[in-house]
A and B are shown apart, each in its own frame.
Chain A
Amino acid sequence: MAIGTAILRVPKEAQKGQIIRVQMVITHPMASRRRDPQTGQEIPGHFLTKLQLFHNDQLVSEMIMATGISANPFIALPLKADSSGVIKIAYEDNRGGKWEKTAEITVK
């Protein structure tokens, strides 16, 4: 898969007030800056720097990261389901890449 694509998984339905897990896997190399062992040339890093979790456009969580997170990051965060609507993740990397992914949830 291309860099920046994500799988976002949330339960389709939840009880009001239930704490759900928002799970995601983002395709990204999370490469740190290093030197080519043969040529000695520097290879710049390429990694995600920020991930934001929104519920109906309200910011719920913000995660700041760098190369300490494994390649193709898996991340799970909690969310208190109090209304139906859209759960969105927005994330960006150190080379200016910006992506979004949404999922819908119905709260009963």
Chain B
Amino acid sequence: MDRRKFLLLSAVAVAGLTFAPAIKPAFAASKLEEEVKKRLGVELNAIKEIAEIKLTVPTIAESGANVPITVEADIPVDKVERLWIFVDKNPTPWVTDVKYTPQNGQVFLSTRIKMGETSNVRAILQLKDGTFVMATKEVKVTAGGCG
């Protein structure tokens, strides 16, 4: 390798190293997308939003330590496998999942969750046929409640 080639190659290598980190974040999935993929085995943007899931959360929560959430679905319970709750910006976006049986009679869950900051809350229904549907709502948090 002569001097000219060496200089050219090293210039290319240095440029590659400098630009690589700048490009990378564009491809990296968000924590929520990773978590959904890991737990549900599907991409988040492949999940359809439907109006049959009624997600009730406060628009503004005074304390992130105690955010009431109620999920009700107009879908027969025997078509439903599981209900998943995710909070986009929590350190661990997955909050809970509930398995339903026809003995429940209905898809319903009411509980209280923790939220670290203002974020979207998602209720995702896993149906028996393997598909997923969801409802999303934003909750503004004035004081975070994680840790």
Contact = CB atoms under 8 A, between A and B. Distances in A.
Interface of A: 19, 21, 30, 32, 34, 55, 58-71, 73-80
A64 B100 CA distance: 12
Interface of B: 65-67, 85, 87, 90, 92, 94-114, 145-147
Given A32-B146, A68-B87, A68-B90, A78 B105 contact: yes
B96 A64 contact: yes
B106 A68 contact: no
A92 to B, nearest CB: 15
Given A60-B104, A63-B96, A76 B65 contact: no
Contacts of B104: 60-61, 77-80
Nearest to A19: B105
Contact of A74 (B90, B98, B112): B112
A66 B111 CA distance: 13
Contacts of B107: 78
Contacts of B106: 19, 78, 80
A70 B96 contact: no
Contacts of B105: 19, 78-80
B39 to A, nearest CB: 10
B116 to A, nearest CB: 10
Contacts of B110: 21, 74-76
